[in-house]
Structure formats: C-alpha cells, structure tokens
C-alpha cells in the first residue's frame, strides 16, 4: 500500500526527510516562507501544508485547517524511508474507520481531513513534526544569522487544549457558532457537476446534475453553512467530510466547527462536531466523546516554542 504518492515534491531531494516545506534546490524551484510554513512554489499538485496561524494575545499558533490525507501520506512515506514497513503499519489509519474504503488512498480525497486516527498516532505525528520543524527552522536561522554562540529554537507541535481550541474557534464571540447566522444563501456552479458526481458517488449523469443545479439556483437557496447534518439536494450530499480549505471560522481558521470532530489534549474529548452531527452539536462549547478511531474524527495541531533556547 505504500509508498503513497508524494504530492509535496521529490522525497530524495529534501534537506531533511520529513521537511516537506524545504527543498535543497530552492534556487530553481522557489520557496515561499510564512513563519512555520514554507513550501515549493512549483511542486506538482502543490498546496501549502496547514499553515500555523498566530492569534492575538495568546502565545501559541493553530493550524489553519485540519490535517489532511495528503499530509498523513507524506508522513507515512517518510516513516517508510527512515523506520521501515513495520513502523508505517503502526501509523496507517484504521481501514474500518473510513467514510468509504478508498477515502484515504484515492487521490481525489488528498486534500480532505485524515480520519480513522488513534490518539497515539496523532501524538506521534506531532512529535515527528516538532523535530522536523525545529531542525529546519534552525538550519534557516543559522544560515541567515551565523553566530559563534550555540543556540537553538525548539518548537513543540501538539494537540491544542480544550480551552485553546475554544478560543481559536470563537470563544470570545457571543454566538454559539462564532458567527451571527450559521446559514448562508448559496449559488452552486453548474461546472462543478462532474466533481459533485464523483464526490457523492452519484448515479445521475453529469448533464442531469447540471440541469438540477440550475433549477436549484433559481430557488435562491439558503443552507446551513457549517458542514453538519443538514438538508441538502442530492447533488450536494456526501458520505465524507469536505475539502479542508472550506468554511471560515471566527478567526479565519477553516472548519473549526463541523466537518470532522477534532482531538484535543484532554483524553476522550472531541470538539467542534462533525459532518454527521446536528448543528446544535457543532458549537464552540459542545463536547463530543472519543473512544478510538472513527470516520468522523480528525485533528489539527497547535504549536508553541522557545525563541531562542540556549543549549
């Protein structure tokens, strides 16, 4: 089953295997830097990893979006090189806890949230990402600001606490969902018919879906904006969560509420609700329970660090 497609670029050219945001031939490929997220400018099928966003008045960052299938696949590719097949098997998502059998392996879903992950697997990913980020950042720092004094920056990638998660999701908002109205008027693009057909695994023809979309738009529809259990026309229904760069939350993060329920540091708790939960269960304060890998549960990372840390 592995190695998986490495959508971030060539594994054999990375400065450090696992550092998918930094490559040795930066002069020819180009690198953009945004705090913790640098990525190849012209890598095939490139999309930046879930960038850390730093929120006002708090000393930590939070991923802008949920950890995706693509990022988890890259993680497994690195483990295959550095640690071998046995370690990769320990970190494979549960096949019994996928929305459908091809959800993790089908490239169509590479930018969808990874699900079917155990708490221990998520913590292992955080530990790996902490080490990679610290090494790469210090490499860049030393190259730009050489000094004779030994120094290092140490980043700690981790699951957010429940309190941190609530703040990022809109804890300072007076509204339960972090917004005044969780419903929006929408217009569906007819050209998306083929995409919607594949995503929903629909039997209707693309031409029919296009016609039905046009008729639907004429009704000036209003739907629940958050990806939760909701009434939708057949061509908008799906048995999976949605693309990670979808609905904005209170502070500009994506899918804090709905889509997939998210792990936090406190064991047995999930936050935000999922695509199968009712809207009232997708509030900032709502809690879900977690007993193991599930098709409705994913995660995003938080980060803090010491700048600099004397060795």
* Digit-coded pLDDT (tens) for 92-150: 999 999 999 999 999 999 999 999 999 999 999 999 998 888 777 777 666 666 665 55
pLDDT, residue 4, reads 60
What average pLDDT does range 20-41 have in this prediction?
26
Do the beta carbons of residue 81 and residue 102 sit within 8 Å? no
- Mean pLDDT (the chain) is 80
Q: Kindly tell me the burial class for residue 257, based on how many C-beta atoms sit within 10 Å of its own C-beta (0-12, 13-18, 19 or more).
A: buried
CA distance 210 to 193: 6
CA distance 74 to 105: 12
CA distance 283 to 256: 9
Query: What confidence tens digit (pLDDT) does each residue in 149-181 have?
Result: 556 777 889 999 999 999 999 878 888 888 877
Sorted by where each begins, the domain ranges of the chain are 11-171+301-309, 183-189+216-298, 190-215
pTM of the model: 0.81
pLDDT, residue 7, reads 47
pLDDT value at 311 more than 60 = no
pLDDT tier at 261, thresholds 50, 70, 90: very high
Question: Could you report how far apart the first and last alpha carbons of the chain are, in Å?
Answer: 41
CA distance 141 to 151: 10
């Amino acid at each position: 089953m592995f190695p998986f497609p490495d959508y971030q670029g060539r594994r054999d050219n990375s400065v450090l295997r696992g550092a998918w945001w930094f490559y040795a031939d930066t002069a020819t490929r180009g690198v953009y830097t945004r705090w913790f997220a640098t990525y190849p400018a012209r890598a095939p099928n490139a999309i930046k990893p879930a960038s850390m966003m730093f929120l006002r008045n708090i000393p930590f960052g939070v991923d802008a979006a949920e950890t995706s299938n693509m990022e988890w696949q890259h993680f497994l590719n690195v483990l295959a090189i550095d640690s071998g097949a046995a370690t990769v098997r320990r970190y494979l998502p549960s096949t019994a806890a996928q929305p459908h059998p091809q959800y993790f392996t089908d490239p169509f879903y590479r930018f969808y949230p990874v699900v079917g992950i155990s708490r221990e697997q998520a913590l292992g990913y955080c530990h790996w990402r902490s080490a990679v980020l610290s090494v790469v950042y210090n490499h860049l720092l030393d190259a730009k600001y050489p000094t004779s004094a030994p120094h290092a920056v140490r980043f700690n990638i981790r699951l957010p606490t429940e309190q941190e998660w609530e703040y990022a999701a809109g804890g300072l908002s007076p509204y339960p969902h972090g917004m005044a109205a969780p419903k929006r008027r929408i217009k569906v693009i007819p050209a998306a018919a083929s995409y919607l057909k594949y995503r929903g695994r629909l039997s209707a023809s693309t031409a029919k879906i296009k016609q039905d979309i046009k008729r639907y738009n004429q009704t000036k529809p209003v739907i629940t904006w958050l990806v939760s259990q909701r009434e939708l026309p057949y061509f908008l229904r799906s048995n999976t969560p949605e693309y990670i760069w979808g609905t904005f939350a209170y502070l500009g993060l994506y899918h804090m509420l709905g889509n997939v329920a998210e792990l936090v540091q406190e064991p047995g708790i999930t936050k935000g609700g999922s695509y199968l939960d009712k809207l009232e269960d997708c509030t900032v304060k709502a809690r879900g329970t977690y007993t193991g890998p599930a098709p409705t549960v994913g995660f995003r990372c938080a980060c803090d660090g010491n700048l600099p840390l004397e060795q």
